[in-house]
Amino acid sequence: MGTRLLLAGCILLATLQLEAQQGEASELVTMEFADADIRVVLDLLARQVDRNIVIHPDVQGKVSVNILQVPWLDALSAIAESVGCVFFSHDAEMTLVRVVPAAVDRSVQVLEVIPLRHRRPPPDGDWELLCDLRTILDTGGVPGECVAYDAPSSSFIVNASRGRIQQLRELVGILDQPQAAQDEPPADVVAALRRQIAVFAEELATLRALVESRD
């Protein structure tokens, strides 16, 4: 009973966090820099959207940015990924965001719940959405990362780094749209998901090569 109550509380918190993040992500930013220090760019982004961005000491490098009216979280994601980093936040309002090297993020795993509002698995056979999420985690090659579907709560239970969980939330958001549970998702939605999976796989390969070159 205690475990179910704890899970229910986690699901409620995750739902509220997802709603808040979707609203906050709509704030648009414009930035243009050439070969600028990553820490300076992140500081200016934080000032634009009135957020606190905490930067890990190992986050270093130069970036060239030309962003015109895009959601600030998309801008943050692109800037962080350009120097092999990821970001995450512990609070629903995203008032405090942490940027860390991907290698550091992968060393710490957490258990989180990603609730589904609309989509449900088919009555029989494999569920493509769950298979795609597992493919992303498998591509990362990080021991211990896994995802499972909890039918009673209609949620994904994920054990992974915070950066990877952030990516999974974004992908789930693409497919978790109002429609009959037995319908196939629209072709354009599936294509978008496949493209993101391919991009994540390429990024992981690049980051892995970067980490190996530093060892």
Residue boundaries of the structural domains of the chain: 22-104, 108-214
Q: Does domain 108-214 have CATH number 3.30.1370.120?
A: yes
Looking at per-residue pLDDT, the higher value among 206 and 35 belongs to 35
What pTM does this model have?
A: 0.48
- CA 46, CA 204: separation in Å to the nearest integer? 26
Give 176-206 pLDDT, tens digit per residue. 877 654 455 566 666 666 676 767 667 766 7
Q: Which CATH architecture best describes the domain 22-104?
A: 3-Layer(bab) Sandwich (3.55)
**What dihedral do alpha carbons 207, 24, 14, 97 form, nearest 10°?**
50
Q: What is the mean pLDDT of residues 11-40?
A: 66
| CA dihedral over 104, 107, 112, 118, signed as positive or negative | positive
- Label residue 211 by pLDDT band (50, 70, 90): low
Q: What is the mean pLDDT of residues 157-168?
A: 80
